[in-house]
Amino acid sequence: MRTTNRLLLASLLILCSTAILAAEDAPSAEPDITIHTEGDKVIQEYRQNGFLYAIKITPTHGKPYFLVRADGTDANFIRSDQPDMLIPSWVLFSW
């Protein structure tokens, strides 16, 4: 009887620890927001499970605007208020 109780208790402890680990790895419902400044702009990056899906740019003079992904695979962003506006993404200099 004691060995069955011990086995039951040990299995219960293992089951609870795996449930806690699984709950920590669950995707979060809230986005991660990273805020930094670049020149005279405040940039907020919105990420969901590490995936960058939107950028909010707030200039000191002017209206804030969002850049959202044009497609889900690469880093092509378009303005949400002007979807026909092309945003250049080439590199002119690098070293």
Helix (H) or strand (E) segment spanning residue 79: strand 77-79
> What is the distance between the alpha carbons of residues 48 and 55, in angstroms, rounded to a whole number?
12
Helix (H) or strand (E) segment spanning residue 66: strand 65-69
* Predicted pLDDT of residue 85: 64
Domain of 53, in residue numbers: 32-79
> Average per-residue pLDDT in the chain?
77
Highest mean pLDDT among 4-13, 49-58, 74-83: 49-58
Identify whether 69 is part of a domain.
Answer: yes
Identify whether 11 is part of a domain.
Answer: no
* Predicted pLDDT of residue 71: 72
- Which residues, listed in sequence order, are joined to residue 57 by a DSSP beta bridge? 43, 65
DSSP SS3 for 57: strand
* Predicted pLDDT of residue 36: 92
* Predicted pLDDT of residue 3: 76
pTM score of the predicted model: 0.56
CATH code of the domain containing 39: 2.20.130.30
